[in-house]
Amino acid sequence: MTRDEIRELEEKIVNVCKNIYDPEIPVNIYDLGLIYDINVSEDGKVKILMTLTAPNCPVAESLPAQVKQEISYLNGVTDVDLEITFDPPWNQDLISEEAKLMLGLL
């Protein structure tokens, strides 16, 4: 996979994340700041580092599974390794400006 193909696949992954919503907050997980890192290798392996709004989040099992599954459907993706971290812990500073406007935080 070329650099351009990797960049294109990363953009598709971001778009997938922008279509997955936290059930408690009406904002997608990307703009909420739950996706910390996306890494695509030349052989199509994807590594996602994400967090949840809280360790005891009601969707702690289902949301990461949904992210992993939906990314795995993209052409060019050969494997998805999704890691959950709480370091650093999620906070409202991670929310995009656009999402803060939507939530009335600005």
pLDDT tens readout for residues 77-102: 999 999 999 999 999 999 999 999 98
Question: What is the three-class DSSP state of 11?
Answer: helix
Q: Which amino acid is at 44?
A: G
CA gap 105, 31 in Å, rounded: 13
* Mean of pLDDT values over 7-31: 94
In the chain, domain spans = 3-97
Strands across the sheet containing 45-50: 35-40, 45-50, 79-84
Please give the helix or strand (H or E) that residue 45 lies within, else none: strand 45-50
* Confidence grade of residue 13 (pLDDT, cut at 50, 70, 90): very high
Q: Supply the pLDDT for residue 105.
A: 87
Helix residue ranges, H only, the chain:
3-17, 62-72, 97-103
Q: Supply the pLDDT for residue 56.
A: 85
pLDDT tens readout for residues 22-57: 888 889 999 999 999 999 999 999 999 999 988 887
CA gap 73, 4 in Å, rounded: 20
* Mean of pLDDT values over 2-23: 95
Q: Is the pLDDT of residue 12 over 90?
A: yes
- Contacts of residue 2, Cβ cutoff 8 Å, sequence gap at least 6: none
Q: Supply the pLDDT for residue 102.
A: 86
CATH number of 3-97: 3.30.300.130
